[in-house]
């Protein structure tokens, strides 16, 4: 069976398939994907092996599980988003405070 059949459950290679790209141009390719059937995120790379005349005769496939890294990236992104939101709130509060101080100064000058 091909990997697109047994891993992806597809009748043909997916559009992101690095091996298909290697066959087209003879170069190394890499793809990051979420594979539902395996329950995780992966980086898949393929590298060509050439004969003495430079023809591609085989390829090396490496799939690295990056599921935990993806989860950590999501947690960091959520924390970043919360900090950005809080920062915007603080900027707005600071602007309001500056405006209030300016209004009080103007009121004191009128009274004063």
| Token couple for 21 | 């790209």
> Count of residues for the chain?
112
Q: Using a cut of 0.85, tell me whether the model's pTM lies above it.
A: no
**Domain boundaries along the sequence of the chain:** 3-65, 68-112
Rg (CA), the chain: 28
**pLDDT tens-digit readout, 81-104:** 999 999 999 999 999 999 999 999
Mean pLDDT across 42-54: 95
């Amino acid at each position: 069976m091909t990997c697109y059949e047994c891993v992806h459950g597809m009748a043909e290679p997916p559009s992101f398939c690095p091996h298909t790209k290697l066959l087209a141009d003879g170069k190394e390719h890499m793809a990051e994907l979420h594979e539902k059937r395996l329950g995780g995120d992966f980086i898949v790379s393929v590298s060509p092996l050439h004969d003495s005349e430079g023809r591609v005769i085989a390829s090396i496939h490496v799939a690295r599980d990056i599921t935990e890294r993806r989860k950590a990236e999501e947690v960091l992104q959520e924390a970043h988003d919360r900090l950005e939101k809080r920062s915007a709130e603080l900027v707005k509060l600071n602007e309001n405070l500056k405006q209030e101080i300016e209004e009080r100064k103007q009121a004191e000058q009128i009274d004063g």
